[in-house]
Amino acid sequence: MDLQLPPTLRQLRVACSQCNLMELCLPVGLSEEDVARIEELIGTRRKLKRHQALYEVRSPFQALYAIRAGSFKTTIVLEDGREQVTGFQMTGELLGLDGISTGQHVVSAIALEDSEACVIEYARLEALAREIQGLQAQFHKVLSREIVREQSVMMLLGTMRAEERLAAFLLNLAQRFAARGFSGTEFRLRMTREEIGSYLGLKLETVSRTLSHFQEEGLIEVQHKNIRLRDRERLRGLIQAPLSH
Amino acid sequence: MDLQLPPTLRQLRVACSQCNLMELCLPVGLSEEDVARIEELIGTRRKLKRHQALYEVRSPFQALYAIRAGSFKTTIVLEDGREQVTGFQMTGELLGLDGISTGQHVVSAIALEDSEACVIEYARLEALAREIQGLQAQFHKVLSREIVREQSVMMLLGTMRAEERLAAFLLNLAQRFAARGFSGTEFRLRMTREEIGSYLGLKLETVSRTLSHFQEEGLIEVQHKNIRLRDRERLRGLIQAPLSH
DNA sequence: ACGACAGGTTGACCGTCATCAACGAAAACG
DNA sequence: CGTTTTCGTTGATGACGGTCAACCTGTCGT
């Protein structure tokens, strides 16, 4: 199983020409000229305060968003009000892909902290993708990667127990922080226990208990939202050999 | 929540020029000329016997597959051997999207019955998508639709109880059969109880029991793999008002 | 700076579904 | 065509995580 995203880009909190439009072009080594053209894509930027929506479910889709700073959650809701977090996104990741299908967003994207996102008008992206082959290829990879990520989550929700889910979640977060040049050992959770639980198909009490349990076992240190991984290997072992509990 | 795919195409068991390359072009109304060009995409066809793999996990990705006849499941496996079904696909649907991301498949696609698939070489598709705008747009929609579908499954796995999951599953199947011109009321399951359970995050015994329970309640008739929906509305109600159990 | 409230922890109890097991029926095989 | 194997059903039991509740701590807003 692999909740880990591919090892991506470093230094992301920089100017667009530096950050290379996030995951959209870095890995493919576009020409300088192409990179310059891609910058045309970026229209406005949007700053969001904590809890503000970048877009809401059912709103018309017209743009993707590259997270420039901060972090987000995406949530989907049932008619009866039940809500589920379908993902947490951080710097450099792309939001809004769910809207392409029907022209309306099917999830809402909510800032977990004060954040900033670059607006990528979708019509422009499609046009440019036709001209720059590398951009098209990379965009398809981003879409496919999201499909793969969600399959990992399905696996997690379908076959793993609470401990395993939490372990996988923490390791995934660590991996993504590390990929961004932050510590992969010590980090701060941007989301609440309830949001974690929603994402992992658990109740907040179970999340809290399991974290405490990990701490007793010496696997991690928890202090409110601050997490420190103390024994990555055993944490990883939890996922692979769940029955040895 | 919406496990239902958009109402798509009818008459699919026909020649390529008739079936309009499945979900790839029908909804967008391409010109006749474009449709003709798209037919170039189809290389060989592959016939598969029941239980045969269309592609295996970790195999190199080079093509997508449009299901021409029959049906498939996609499965993902953990190192420890646990396996999960991530989807069931039927005529007209596209397989292989998971491979675009890394160039290797992350799931295996297994025929649930004797089946046939059209091979769409991916390099050709990318090239043609640059030339035919409608094709590019449609392909993006297909990718996005898969993202949305998986989000529905995450919701199902994360928040629903066994009864609700089964009800959602049956209604989704019915909807897809109907969209293909078959009966949406009476149909034959192509998969085993174990495969259903794996997809829904349940054990096969629970699937069996829940189906029996639905039958006692007069919601459906079950006879081995044959299903008949007797009260769609109450079935639908199960999903929306789970607490009234 | 203070107070209110959201967020987090822990405990006791209970329900849903997993597990183990036995049996029966259909389908695949030679 | 009969045998073997896969598939499905049903029952008894128990564990994992949900639920309800009380309490504590930190954070946010004024």
Looking at the fold, whether A61 and A116 belong to one and the same domain comes out as yes
Average of per-residue pLDDT across B188-193: 97
Nucleotide nearest residue B223, measured CA to C1':
D8
Looking at the fold, whether A193 and A133 belong to one and the same domain comes out as no
Average of per-residue pLDDT across A109-136: 92
Contact (CB, 8 A) for A180 and A91: yes
Q: Name which of A39-48, B110-119, B131-140, B224-233 the model is least confident about.
A: A39-48
Average of per-residue pLDDT across A195-213: 97
Looking at the fold, whether B207 and B107 belong to one and the same domain comes out as no
Q: Is residue A8 part of a domain?
A: no
How many other CB atoms sit within 10 Å of the CB of residue B180?
17
pLDDT tens string A25-74: 555 666 777 777 777 778 788 999 999 999 999 999 999 999 988 999 99
- Chosen for mutation from A61, A73, A101 (greatest number of chain B CBs closer than 10 Å) is A101
Domain end, chosen from B156, B178, B206, is at B156
pLDDT for B32 beyond 60: yes
Q: How many domains does chain B have?
A: 2
Backbone angles phi, psi at A65, to 5 degrees: -130, 130
Looking at the fold, whether B33 and B85 belong to one and the same domain comes out as yes
The pLDDT of residue A44:
86
Nearest C-alpha of chain A: how many angstroms from B240? 6
Task: Give the nearest chain B residue to A1 (CA atoms).
Answer: B78
Backbone angles phi, psi at B72, to 5 degrees: -140, 165
Domain end, chosen from A113, A132, A156, is at A156
Domain end, chosen from A102, A124, A156, is at A156
The pLDDT of residue A10:
37
Residue A227's DSSP bridge partners are A187, A222
The enclosing domain of B192 has a CATH number of: 1.10.10.10
How many other CB atoms sit within 10 Å of the CB of residue A161?
13
pLDDT for B35 beyond 60: yes
CA distance B66 to B54: 11
Looking at the fold, whether A130 and A166 belong to one and the same domain comes out as no
In this predicted model, which residue has the larger pLDDT, B79 or B225? B225
Nucleotide nearest residue B162, measured CA to C1':
C17
Contact (CB, 8 A) for A11 and A26: no
pLDDT for A14 beyond 50: no
Q: In sequence order, which residues have a C-beta less than 8 Å from that of residue A127 and are 6 or more positions away?
A: none
Looking at the fold, whether B67 and B142 belong to one and the same domain comes out as yes
Determine whether the interchain pair A140/B137 forms a contact, defined as Cβ–Cβ distance below 8 Å. Answer: no
pLDDT tens string B81-98: 889 999 999 998 999 999
The pLDDT of residue B22:
66
**Separation in Å: C30 C1' and B219 CA:** 42
Whether any strand D atom is under 7 angstroms from the Cβ of A82: the reply reads no
Q: Is residue B84 part of a domain?
A: yes
The DSSP secondary structure of chain A, one letter per residue, reads ---PPP---S--SS-HHHHTTGGGTGGG---HHHHHHHHTTEEEEEEE-TT-EEE-TTSBP-EEEEEEESEEEEEEE-TTS-EEEEEEEETT-EE-GGGTTTSB-SSEEEESSSEEEEEEEHHHHHHHHHH-HHHHHHHHHHHHHHHHHHHHHHHHHHH--HHHHHHHHHHHHHHHHHHTTS-SSEEE--S-HHHHHHHHT--HHHHHHHHHHHHHTTSEEEETTEEEES-HHHHHHHHH-GGG-
**A130 neighbourhood in chain B, CB within 8 Å:** 129-130, 133, 136
Average of per-residue pLDDT across B106-128: 94
- % chain B with pLDDT above 70: 86
Contact (CB, 8 A) for B105 and A151: no
**Separation in Å: D15 C1' and B82 CA:** 20
Nearest C-alpha of chain A: how many angstroms from B153? 7
Give the angle B225-B230-B231 at the CA atoms, nearest 5°. Answer: 130
- Chosen for mutation from B101, B124, B126 (greatest number of chain A CBs closer than 10 Å) is B101
Q: Is residue B228 part of a domain?
A: yes
Determine whether the interchain pair A129/B136 forms a contact, defined as Cβ–Cβ distance below 8 Å. Answer: yes
Q: Looking at residue B58, what DSSP letter applies?
A: T
Q: Is residue B90 part of a domain?
A: yes
Helix axes B133-159, B193-200, angle to 10 degrees: 90
Token representation of residue A174: 């660590």
CA distance B87 to B54: 14
Looking at the fold, whether B127 and B26 belong to one and the same domain comes out as yes
Looking at the fold, whether A105 and A198 belong to one and the same domain comes out as no
**A100 neighbourhood in chain B, CB within 8 Å:** 140-141, 143-144
In this predicted model, which residue has the larger pLDDT, A68 or A97? A97
pLDDT for B15 beyond 90: no
CA distance A223 to B5: 44
**B154 neighbourhood in chain A, CB within 8 Å:** 76, 84, 86, 150, 153-154, 157
| Identity of the amino acid at B30 | L
A-B contacts (CB, under 8 Å): 147
Residue A83's DSSP bridge partners are A77
How many other CB atoms sit within 10 Å of the CB of residue B140?
22
Q: Name which of A182-196, B12-26, B54-68, B104-118 the model is least confident about.
A: B12-26
Residue with tokens 């991301």: B101
Q: Is residue B11 part of a domain?
A: no
In this predicted model, which residue has the larger pLDDT, A126 or B40? A126
Burial letters A71-81, b for 16+ CB under 10 A, else e: bbbbbbebeee
Q: How far apart are the first and last CA of chain A?
A: 19
pLDDT for B29 beyond 50: yes
The enclosing domain of A25 has a CATH number of: 2.60.120.10
In this predicted model, which residue has the larger pLDDT, B187 or A132? B187
Q: Is residue A9 part of a domain?
A: no
The pLDDT of residue B13:
36
Identify the residues numbered 185 to 224 in chain A whose C-beta atom is closer than 7 Å to any atom of strand D.
201-203, 205-206, 224
Q: Is residue A3 part of a domain?
A: no
- % chain A with pLDDT above 90: 71
Looking at the fold, whether A96 and A205 belong to one and the same domain comes out as no
What is the average pLDDT value for chain A, to the nearest integer? 87
Looking at the fold, whether B145 and B184 belong to one and the same domain comes out as no
Q: Is residue A231 part of a domain?
A: yes
Nucleotide nearest residue A204, measured CA to C1':
C8
Determine whether the interchain pair A130/B126 forms a contact, defined as Cβ–Cβ distance below 8 Å. Answer: no
Confidence bin at A147 (pLDDT 50/70/90): very high
Looking at the fold, whether A27 and A110 belong to one and the same domain comes out as yes
Looking at the fold, whether B42 and B143 belong to one and the same domain comes out as yes
Covered bases, chain C (protein CB within 7 Å): 7-12, 16-21, 26-28
Whether any strand D atom is under 7 angstroms from the Cβ of B157: the reply reads no
Confidence bin at B243 (pLDDT 50/70/90): very low
> A104 lies in which domain range?
16-156
Task: Please report, for residues A14, A78, B156, the alpha-carbon distance to residue B159 in angstroms, rounded to integers and kept in the order given.
Answer: 39, 10, 6
Task: Please report, for residues B84, B86, B166, B183, B190, the alpha-carbon distance to residue B93 in angstroms, rounded to integers and kept in the order given.
Answer: 20, 15, 22, 18, 16
pLDDT for A213 beyond 90: yes
Whether any strand C atom is under 7 angstroms from the Cβ of B156: the reply reads no
The pLDDT of residue B7:
37
The pLDDT of residue B241:
61
